[in-house]
Amino acid sequence: MPVITPLNPFGRLIAVYQISFGKLAILLSAAVGMAGLGAYLVSMISYSPIGILFILIGILALAYFITHVGCRVELYEKGLKYHSPLREKSWRWTDLDTMITTDKVIQQRVYGIPLWRFHYYDYSLFSCGEKVLSLNGLYRNPSELGAQLMEKTAEYILPLWLTQMAQGNLIYFNSIAISKDGLGSVPWSSFLDMGTRDGNLVLMLENQQKKYVRIQGKPNAHVFVMLIEIALHRRTYP
């Protein structure tokens, strides 16, 4: 077991995730292309609004590249550290009370033929209602990074929810009341199975009906799903 000391307050290092230089290089190429196209349009058409817009987008993308080269996040047993050219910051897992996860595939089709496909990731971490860190798909292994963040934040949040429910209090997720007796007005014994579809949690009821709960982009959706898994005996706790 690692010794927790003032020099090592977060314990054992679990993983390090760095921003992908290759992905940033693609962003830089797009920035140069946008700025160049914008400059061409402005030179051809005086004060072209589209040209000016392209130049501004190119400048913003270039600024993003400069400020994110070499970014990395280090995950530890007791917390995480974020390093960037502009700042270094650290948080204990117990400081982070909310996580919003967006993990979806965006694709464009024409007559059923896929033109392009893009997997969008965004993990936003909050402390006391304030966003303190946002990590996206530019990092290497973004799905693995998201899974690690969800696991570590849930280690703190899930016990709080379970304790409140055991004390007879209600937990609210997406305006739905959760209690030790059931979800909303439906008792736990009425739920047979669960799954996910298109950013929704799908709960199958004993009367062949289904209940859909939106989880994509909702605060602490991962903790909500874990809570349902425990209630349906698909996850053991602790």
d(CA 221, CA 123): 12
Q: What is the pLDDT of residue 127?
A: 95
Q: What is the DSSP letter of 230?
A: H
- Using pLDDT thresholds of 50, 70 and 90, give the confidence band for residue 38: low
Residue 103 is which amino acid? Answer: D
d(CA 159, CA 167): 12
d(CA 44, CA 184): 61
Maximum distance among all Cα pairs of the chain, rounded to whole angstroms:
70
Q: What is the pLDDT of residue 24?
A: 65
Token duo for residue 208: 């062949």
pLDDT digits (tens, 9 = 90+) for 89-143: 999 999 999 999 988 766 666 666 666 566 788 999 999 999 999 998 888 899 9
Q: What is the pLDDT of residue 150?
A: 96
Q: Is the predicted pLDDT of residue 5 greater than 50, yes or no?
A: no
d(CA 215, CA 222): 8
Most confident of 37-46, 62-71, 211-220: 211-220
Q: Specify the pTM.
A: 0.78
CB 235 within 8 A of CB 227: no
Q: What is the DSSP letter of 180?
A: S
Q: Are strands 88-92 and 79-83 parallel, antiparallel or unpaired?
A: antiparallel
d(CA 146, CA 103): 9
